[in-house]
Structures are given as C-alpha cells and as structure tokens.
C-alpha cells in the first residue's frame, strides 16, 4: 500500500480550502466533521407506532438507535461503493446524518418535524447558511435512498426547505502578486535542494492548472506527459480530465524529476509524483503548509491557500480573455454555474468584453 507523507504542521484552512463548495450537490468536498457545531436534539413525537416499537432499543455511543446507525452505515456504503463518492464526502454525509438523526427512537419515527427541529437547532447554535443547506441536502439524499430501499414508507424530507447559501469568494491575489510569490519560491530553489524543488513544483502546478490540492498530491509520475505539457488528473466523482501547464511549470517539473525526487525516493516509495521528506506520497496538509508559507513570505499578498490559487488561476485566465467553457473544463466542474463561483471578473474586463462584443456598445 502506498504511504502518505504526513509530517509537518497542518495549515489553517477555511471551508473553501478543501474542496469546491458548489462543485456538486450535497455535503461534497466542503463537509468537515470537526467544523460543525453539535447540539442535543429533542426527540420526535412519541405517539407514532414506529416510535413506540423502537423506544425500548438501546442507543449507540453516538446517540443513535441501532436501526438508525445501521441505515447510516448502509447509506454511506452506497455512496462509497455505488456512487463512487470520495472519502471526504462520505465522512461529511455520515457526520451530518449523525447530527440530524440523533435522538430518534427508531428510523420509523423520522418525520418532517424532527428534521426541522434539528436543522433549527443547528442554525441556533451558530452554524452558517451554507452548513444548514449542506445538512438539508444530506437529509434529502438519505431519505430518498431510504424510501427507494424500503426502509421508509414515505419521504419526510420531500417538503424540507433549504436556505440559499450565500456566495462568499476568498480574496484572490493579483497576477503580479502571484508572480512575485512564484519568483521568490524559484529563488529559494536555486541550490536544487530537494524540498525546495518540490515546493516550487507545488506552487507552479497549482497555479498553472487550477487543480485541487488533493488532485495534485494524488498524481503519479505516469500521469505526466512532459512533451505535451499535460497532466492526467482524477477529480471528484472519479472523473478523469486532462489539464495543461506552461513553460515555467514544465521547467520546475524537470528540475524536480532530475534532482529533487530521486533524492527523496526510497525503495518503498509509491509512484507518486510528489514525495515527502520520508519518501511517502506528499500529504495535502503538507502541501497547504507549503503554499501558506510561500505566500506569507511576500509582504502585501493575501494569505490564500491552495484553493485560493485555484480561484486565482480561473480569474486570471478570464481576465486574459479565456473562454468560460475552457475554464470549466480545466477546473473539472460538472456545470458552468459552478465555474462562475470560482471567478473574479473585474469591472474593467467586463467593459472591454462589452465594448468588443455588443452591437450597441
């Protein structure tokens, strides 16, 4: 089994740093169990036959009735094995559903009132609209599955309302600021120290391609085509796409393969493109630390992580005249509306496009 390099401190990262918030419905890459506020739930009305029948059952350590806990496990197995969701997504669904269904005497007692109370308690505890919307999506997906598989005779979440999550985009460094960061990292790698060469490649590839940090750390050497300057990336939903990178990233890649990777590789190293100091696959947490450290070293640049570089790549492409559909393909988004959430188009750029394209400009 391939080892994962996990040394080094984990850089702080907000909800946007781990996954795309709107890349796909449901908890997705945004779900983090330790980011949610947990509250105790009032039980549902006890006058239902299903509730009375389940009332004598002993709850699990999570406060879940045995049949509820079993249903959550089977549902998350369905997500993992049949729908091919990522481990982060599966953990997010499990955590959200554990919060929502805690206190039920049995799955048959689940109704709309219980879901509304639990979501209301989550909001009252300080959770944001995006968190409540994510939990609502988890409830809808789970209940629809439970009806399809005969675990529920009706869908209690069918009429469950969901708050509209606000669009909060992270601050994006300007193209000149990003270039200053990359220049500083390039200077730091002048002596061909293995870790410095790796860190340079991390920054160059994240900005050149706009790929996610987990996608970057998941790359193998065989996924790289140096002659065509392309990477074969496996993204969310196990979808594969090809992304391109430019000459500076190609130079950083060649230096890393010539002088950096051989120095860190061991006989038991996996075929990973990026390695940690002990020869294992580079951990995404270490990559985030690399990005934050490089950006903080340049005064005046917004302290963004890998996801901020993803936003910057999309924004700078559009400002340079790239087609939105191309940016969508590069970022690996299933829908164009998701790509729009990752872009910061300046008013000046909008004016230029309007002047060039509108017949009455």
- Report yes or no: 104 and 68 within 8 Å, Cβ to Cβ: yes
Is residue 307 annotated as a catalytic residue, yes or no? Answer: yes
Burial class (CB in 10 A: 0-12, 13-18, 19+), 276: buried
Active site residue 117: no
Task: List the catalytic residue out of 32, 36, 255, 342.
Answer: 342
- Per the annotation, the verdict on 154 as an active-site residue is no
User: CA–CA separation, 5 vs 284, rounded Å?
Assistant: 9
Closest C-alpha among 101, 96, 104, 63 to residue 79: 96
**Candidates 36, 236, 255, 288; catalytic one:** 236
326 catalytic residue (yes or no): no
Is residue 310 part of the annotated active site? The answer reads: yes
Please indicate whether residue 351 is annotated as part of the active site.
Answer: no
Q: Which of 36, 114, 285, 310 is catalytic?
A: 310
* Distance between CA atoms of residues 173 and 178, nearest Å: 6
Which of these is catalytic: 255, 307, 311, 316? 307
* Catalytic-role residue among 88, 212, 281, 292: 212
Catalytic residues: 212, 236, 307, 310, 333, 342
């Amino acid at each position: 089994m391939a080892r994962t390099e996990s040394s080094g401190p984990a850089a702080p990262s907000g909800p946007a740093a781990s996954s795309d918030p709107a890349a796909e419905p449901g908890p997705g890459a945004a779900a983090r169990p330790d980011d949610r506020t947990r509250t105790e739930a009032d039980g549902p009305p006890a006058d239902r036959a299903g509730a009375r029948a389940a009332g004598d059952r002993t709850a699990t350590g999570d406060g879940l009735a045995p049949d509820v806990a079993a249903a959550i496990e089977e549902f998350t197995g369905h997500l993992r094995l049949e729908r091919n969701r990522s481990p982060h997504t599966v953990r997010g669904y499990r955590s959200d559903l554990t919060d929502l269904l805690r206190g039920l005497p049995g799955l048959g007692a689940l109704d709309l009132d219980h879901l509304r109370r639990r979501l209301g308690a989550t909001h009252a505890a300080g959770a944001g609209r995006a968190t409540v919307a994510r939990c609502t999506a988890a409830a809808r997906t789970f209940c629809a599955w439970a009806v399809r598989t005969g675990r529920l005779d009706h869908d209690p979440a069918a009429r469950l309302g969901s708050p509209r999550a606000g669009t909060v985009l992270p601050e994006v460094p300007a193209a000149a600021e990003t270039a200053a960061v990359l220049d500083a990292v390039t200077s730091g790698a002048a002596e061909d120290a293995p870790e410095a060469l790796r860190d340079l490649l991390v920054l160059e590839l994240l900005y050149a391609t706009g790929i996610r940090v987990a996608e970057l750390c998941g790359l193998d050497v065989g996924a790289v085509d140096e002659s065509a300057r392309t990477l074969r990336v496996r993204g969310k939903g196990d979808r594969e796409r090809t992304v391109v990178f430019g000459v500076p990233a190609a130079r950083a890649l060649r230096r890393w393969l010539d002088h950096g990777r051989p120095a860190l590789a061991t006989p038991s190293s996996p075929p990973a493109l990026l390695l940690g100091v002990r020869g294992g696959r580079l951990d995404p947490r270490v990559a985030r630390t690399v990005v934050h450290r490089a950006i903080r070293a340049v005064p005046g640049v917004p302290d963004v992580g890998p996801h901020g570089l993803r936003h910057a790549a999309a924004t700078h492409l559009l400002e340079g005249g790239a087609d939105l559909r191309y940016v969508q393909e590069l970022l690996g988004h299933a829908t164009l509306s998701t790509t729009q959430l990752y872009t910061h188009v300046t008013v000046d750029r909008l004016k230029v496009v309007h002047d060039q394209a509108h017949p009455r400009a």
